[in-house]
Amino acid sequence: MASAYRALTQSATPRQLLLAAILVVVLILAPMALLVPHGVRLGGKLPDHAAAASEAVAALALPTTTARVAAKAAPPAAPQNADIKASSLPAGPVLGTATMPLDTTIPQDEADNLRWSLIRRTPLAATIYSAAGGVNWEALRQAEAQGDIFVPAGFAWSFNETFREGPGYKEASGILAGGHCALATLFNAAAERAGLPTQFKRHRTPFAGYGPEKSVNIYWGRDDLVVQNTSGQDIYLRWRLVGNNATVEVVSAADPNARPALPSLDGAQIALTYGRARSGSWGTLGQTSTVDQAVHAAIQFADRVNAWNGDRAAVTAINPNVLMAGTNEMSSLYIYHLIAEAERRGAYVMLDVQTRGEDPLQLFGRLMDRYLRENVWLDWDIEHTTGGRVTAAQINSVAAEYFRRRAERGYRQKGIFAFYVFEMGAVADPENIQRVYDNGWVVPIFDGYGPRAAKLAKTDQFRERFAGGPLGIMEFETRWGTKYDGISAQEYCTAYPDMLIYASQ
């Protein structure tokens, strides 16, 4: 072997030697690749799932619009994004702060990911990232920005639910999105200095300036930083990037003017986007895996409805299934972040509930205990109740409790308690449902499907049977599409311009 090598090196040209070296490397590494499970990176990071799988969905992680408000208006010259400029909001008392010098704490590649994690959720991202070229890292390093993450009183905030997935991240220190551990450590330090409880797994090596008990490990799907807002008031996690320093402050948001007002429902039409996130197939939201993607999809649908419904303004609402068959509950950290992010962006969230055989009043009561905010509505998917039938008395008991709690909290905007109707006999005595409350409505939503003529006929039957208050209808765009529905979303919407809710699944 050695003699053959000497003969080769003595007679071969430099180009031949280079090609031979490449061939050897390929022959060694190719079998090793077979040892790596499909979809798992060598760095150990969990798969990046839907958002980074294709540049086609990059826009979902880079939202450049804000939730539709209840007024027809031309788009602003500089559309707002997931983050509203902190300087435009009232500055409440700072409860805790922490700063990290990026140039001396972590390697540059990790600092790049840390910066991108924050800036990708601002309008500035559109000037730094493109689907074709990815992140302009040099421009990113020069960028200065600030933004807010809203955490209502009593809610928990998850680092992973906010920053996981999406295009643009690169491998750093052997792992995709390396730098998240340092960023989480910074958020943790600010939270602890504000007196907020946090939960996390320690990083294997401490970051400079932070002891081993303060350094956070992040691993999507496994290791997270969770901050509990036990302050008794709404807060912002306000971040800033200035020069080589990243700063996080915990700022009081107790002032109701510290965020945009929720849009009024008077004279408006609600554009409702339905599904179960991360399911891969269940409605429009089933095609999303992060809160940013879900909110962006809902805003896109509201923009379409806004173009169809004449002078009525389209109000953005997100309709995630949060409880399937009475027990299979969506991650509470996802729901917390969705509600908070929607509220910060002037959108509503309607929690979709399948009760199966559970006691409806107790089940909805637990959800209200945990999630009720001014922008939170509820719906009961009657089709997935044991027997598929309920009475007006059952609906009235849950709705009355919901509106009682809203009144007790002094919410200004109207609330909605809805129920989905697949079969016309889903409610035995619909004439006995209390449809109107002082602070909101009970709204039946028809979610049947079929050929064009049959669906229109069923919708007319639904309108007659559930007359007496506002109504809603649903078009199947994503889950089954035209396989069952023979009418386009635009045609169905414009056929019933008086509907309060127009939903898409």
Question: Predicted confidence band at 483 (pLDDT cuts at 50, 70, 90)?
Answer: low
Residue 239 and residue 447: Cα distance in Å, rounded? 42
Rounded alpha-carbon distances, angstroms, from residue 436 to 251, 325, 403: 38, 28, 10
Beta-strand ranges (E) seen in 361-451 are 376-381, 415-421, 436-437, 440-446
pLDDT of residue 488: 87
Residue written as token pair 């090598």: 5
Q: Provide mean pLDDT across the span 81-101.
A: 69
Residue 354 and residue 133: Cα distance in Å, rounded? 44
Is the pLDDT score of 437 beyond 80?
Answer: yes
Q: What is the pLDDT of residues 221-244, one digit of tens each?
A: 899 999 999 999 999 999 999 999
Assess contact for 317 and 346: CB atoms under 8 A: no
Pick the CATH number of 262-504 from 3.40.140, 3.10.20, 3.40.50, 3.20.20: 3.20.20
Question: Predicted confidence band at 43 (pLDDT cuts at 50, 70, 90)?
Answer: very low
| Percent of the chain clearing pLDDT 90 (strictly above) | 72
pLDDT of residue 449: 81
Q: Which of 21-25, 170-174, 381-385 has the lowest mean pLDDT?
A: 21-25
Q: What is the pLDDT of residues 439-477, one digit of tens each?
A: 999 999 999 888 889 999 999 999 999 999 999 999 988
Q: Is 381 exposed, middle or buried (0-12, 13-18, 19+ CB in 10 A)?
A: buried
Most confident range, picked from 3-7, 48-52, 420-424: 420-424
pLDDT of residue 146: 95
Residue 176 and residue 41: Cα distance in Å, rounded? 8
Contacts of 489 (CB under 8 A, 6+ apart): 304, 475, 477, 504
Question: Predicted confidence band at 117 (pLDDT cuts at 50, 70, 90)?
Answer: very high
Report helix, strand or coil for 273. strand
pLDDT of residue 33: 32
439, two tokens: 């602070």
Please give the model's pTM, rounded to 2 decimal places.
0.84
Most confident range, picked from 42-56, 57-71, 430-444: 430-444
Q: Which of 39-43, 86-90, 165-169, 481-485 has the lowest mean pLDDT?
A: 39-43
C-alpha triplet 133, 136, 137: angle, nearest 5°:
135
* Sequence ranges of the domains in the chain: 2-33, 49-257, 262-504
Neighbours of 132 (CB within 10 A): 5
Q: Which residues of 75-90 are buried (b: 16+ CB within 10 A; e: fewer)?
A: eeeeebbbbbebeebe
Is the pLDDT score of 279 beyond 90?
Answer: no
Q: What is the pLDDT of residues 143-187, one digit of tens each?
A: 999 999 999 999 999 999 999 998 999 999 999 999 999 999 999
389, two tokens: 């039938």
Is the pLDDT score of 485 beyond 80?
Answer: no
pLDDT of residue 322: 96
Is the pLDDT score of 56 beyond 90?
Answer: no
Report helix, strand or coil for 54. coil
Q: Provide mean pLDDT across the span 8-25.
A: 44
Is the pLDDT score of 63 beyond 50?
Answer: no
